[in-house]
Amino acid sequence: MPRAYAPELAESPAGPGRSAPEVVVLGSAGGPTPKAARRPVSHALVIDGEVTLVDCGNGVAGQYVAAGLDLGRLRRILISHHHIDHVADVATLVHLAWSQLEDPVAVIGPPPLRRIFDLHYEAFATDIESRMQDEGRPHLREFVQITEIDCDSALEHSGARITAALVEHPPLRAFAYRIDQGGASICFSGDTRPSTALAALAQDADLLVHETTYLANAADFLPAARAAQVLARMRAVHSDPAGAAWIASAAGVGALLLSPVGAFGPVADEEILDEATASFSGPAWVGSDLLRVPLPIRGDI
Ligand SMILES: [Zn+2]
């Protein structure tokens, strides 16, 4: 049995009525500096056409539509932490989806989520007020339900059980999320160094989406005087492919998606997979924008 699978891009978009559960990579770039080949971090969990987003990097609205996802089926947004590559467009996305929404979107994550939205309403009052007049829409805030969390948490939302666990991404408070919905269990790491709290959260999940930073060739692309310091810093806050795979193995997950991906220089997906599959024997993918990963469901949907 092959241990790594080549990425597949689906021909048909997800949409209302599509029942195959999947994770769609909307943005697979780790780190704040814009990349030519990858957009900033965002992943969509799609179950029966209903969408849960984990993180909202810059440009997520365009990627959401490019993936064929229905803005009207956006149910919830989970924010892992407040680095800009994970959260830049969280309010902008809901604003841009506003005219398509019938129900409020649940937005869950650490503070200052509420302040981000309040400042957005203030900064973009001109557009909000004009569209309320022109289109007769209730205020944008009526379509946003914010839950701020600052510790390990579990909550239910519209048929989904969402469990959040603090992971290790100092100095920020960063959360990993597990979503149990429709018989599927999916865990998203956010940014973290290899975390035993994450391994516990992800226990027996169908799929773990784990960040990774490829460090094996980093010294070739760093100034010699700073290389050791930068590498030590990276290992303190991120996970290399072997570290992510070790967590996947410890958790006993069914499959591993390594995304987002950070690197200091060019690296082939095969090199990342080789490092990961040395300690994880299940199906594994390296994230790329608009990659669709079907969920290997063990229960009924
Ligand atoms: Zn981060």
Q: What pLDDT is stored for residue 20 in this prediction? A: 82
Strand partners, 164: 153, 177
CATH number of the structural domain spanning residue 82:
3.60.15.10
In-domain check, residue 81: yes
Task: Spell out the residues 6+ positions from residue 103 whose beta carbon is closer than 8 angstroms to its own.
Answer: 75, 143
- Strand arrangement of the beta sheet that strand 207-214 belongs to: 153-157, 160-166, 175-181, 184-188, 207-214, 256-263, 284-286
Position 66 pLDDT exceeds 70: yes
In-domain check, residue 13: no
* 173: containing domain: 22-289
CB 172, CB 84: distance < 8 Å? no
pLDDT digits over 197-219, tens only? 999 999 999 999 999 999 999 99
Which residues line ion ligand 1, judged by CB < 5 Å?
83, 191
Q: How confident is the model at residue 296 (pLDDT cuts 50, 70, 90)?
A: low
In-domain check, residue 125: yes
CB 167, CB 176: distance < 8 Å? yes
In-domain check, residue 180: yes
Distance 103 CA to ligand 1 centre (A): 30
Distance 30 CA to ligand 1 centre (A): 8
In-domain check, residue 138: yes
Distance 83 CA to ligand 1 centre (A): 5
CA distance linking residue 74 with residue 60, whole number of Å:
13
Least reliable range by pLDDT among 16-25, 78-87, 246-255, 259-268: 16-25
Distance 262 CA to ligand 1 centre (A): 11
Q: How confident is the model at residue 9 (pLDDT cuts 50, 70, 90)?
A: very low
In-domain check, residue 116: yes
The mean per-residue pLDDT over the stretch 25-44 comes to: 95
Position 3 pLDDT exceeds 90: no
Indicate the number of domains in the chain: 1
pLDDT digits over 84-141, tens only? 999 999 999 999 999 999 999 999 999 999 999 999 999 999 999 999 999 999 999 9
The mean per-residue pLDDT over the stretch 260-284 comes to: 94
pLDDT digits over 146-164, tens only? 999 999 999 999 999 999 9
Distance 47 CA to ligand 1 centre (A): 27
Distance 220 CA to ligand 1 centre (A): 23
CA distance linking residue 223 with residue 268, whole number of Å:
22
In-domain check, residue 297: no
Distance 54 CA to ligand 1 centre (A): 13
CB hemisphere CA count around 114 (13 angstroms)? 7
Q: What pTM does this model have? A: 0.93
Distance 81 CA to ligand 1 centre (A): 7
Share of the chain above pLDDT 70, in %: 92
Q: Kindly report the average pLDDT of the chain as a whole number.
A: 92
Distance 18 CA to ligand 1 centre (A): 33
In-domain check, residue 301: no
